[in-house]
Amino acid sequence: MRAKVLVLGSNFGGLTAALAVRHELHGDVDVTVVSPSDEFLFNPSLIWLPFGKREHHEITFPVAPTLQEHRIGFEHVAATALDPVGKIVTLADGATIGYDYLVIATGYRNKDDVVPGFRENAVTITTLPEAERAGRAWRRFLDDPGDVVVAATQGAGCFGAAYEFLFNTSYQLRKAGLHKRVKLTYVTAEPFLGHFGIGGLPHGEQLLGMFLKKEGIETRLSIGIDHIDDGAMTLADGERLPFSYGMVIPPFLGQEFLLGADGIADEKGYVKVRSTYQTEKYDDIYAVGVAAAVDVPWQTPTPVGIPKTGFPTETMAHIAAANIAAQVRGETPSQAKGFGDIKAVCVMDAGNNGVIILADKMLPPRKHGVLIPGPQAHLMKLGFEKYFLWKMRNGYVQLP
């Protein structure tokens, strides 16, 4: 009988892993994807959606045709329980599905209770529905403008999106003729500008400081948020920042059902993995992307998380697929690369400008890292969006 590989999740990590393991074994494997979403979402473009620069259909595509074309099964339903000993996953419709090898690529959920009043009185852009809600709030803001606060809370890790939204907000305020009327403030848990949750890069603090000064953006660094009221954010030191529009990046959590699986997840629902992306306890279970636990190698005055989306997720998924293929062939998994050793590759958009971020490793110590500012970064992100959606829609995961 052919090996059965079950993949939980259908976005960056899940779709890449499913297609890659099928490719690695030249189709001689049964692969099934289980996901509560039937669409692939290009998350990096959520920064543009609130400003009307993107619509839902422009940054998504249905995954079923892609999976069908590559002879991969698809169950459009959420997983609700995992029995790692019995090798069984229970689904929301009551059905169960067995596996020989499992890939957990279930992404994240927002930690909505990180700050009292966050859900009720601010918006975020970390999911498609929330970004659409942020867009409705932005349109109301344009009718009655006031001050704007963009924030990344204590424990947040997705600082790149916060910076991108911040600079895109500044760009949109200029386009609307509101730049001189609106005070724009950035609140962050980062100990310094350009930390990004990865320890910073050479000259990053100076570069980001220059960008902020040029745009007239005020900052509050290394601080948490105490609570958010309707129209005001109160920081941990008691300072109150009034706003007419507030966008907040919260921390992420792993999926709740994983907490009930013996020896799989930590207290946040992230799956504890080795450098092969096998779980610490089970050789036949892998976790990739945001679902994988990553140790934070530092302590900061205000806690910060680590970004795991995008390129690191793809890398993890390919390593997991190669190792599963090795196991299916009766070999020992040999592909390994700790999260901190994955290359840092990111394009940060700033409206009509941006920064290309490159480093030999995600986390220090590094041999080299560089930030390249300029309008070419904006154009590169536009091009990459189109390329990546084409690549994934067609299942060409072997391409870079």
Residues involved in catalysis = 158, 346
- Cα 369 to Cα 202, 279, 343, 364: the distances in Å are 6, 30, 10, 10
Q: Please give the Cα distance from 21 to 29 (Å, whole number).
A: 8
Q: Please give the Cα distance from 46 to 367 (Å, whole number).
A: 32
- Non-local (6+) Cβ contacts of 36 within 8 A are 76, 77, 78, 92
- Non-local (6+) Cβ contacts of 179 within 8 A are 170, 173, 216
Q: Could you give the 3-state DSSP secondary structure of residue 359?
A: strand
DSSP-derived pairing of the beta strands 148-152 and 245-249: parallel
C-beta atoms surrounding 140 within 10 Å: 12
DSSP-derived pairing of the beta strands 218-220 and 184-188: parallel
For tokens 């610490």, the residue is: 280
The helix (H) or strand (E) run that includes residue 259 is none
Q: Which long-range contacts (CB under 8 A, 24 or more apart) does 331-338 make?
A: 333/276, 333/278, 333/283, 335/276, 336/274, 336/275, 336/276, 337/275, 338/275
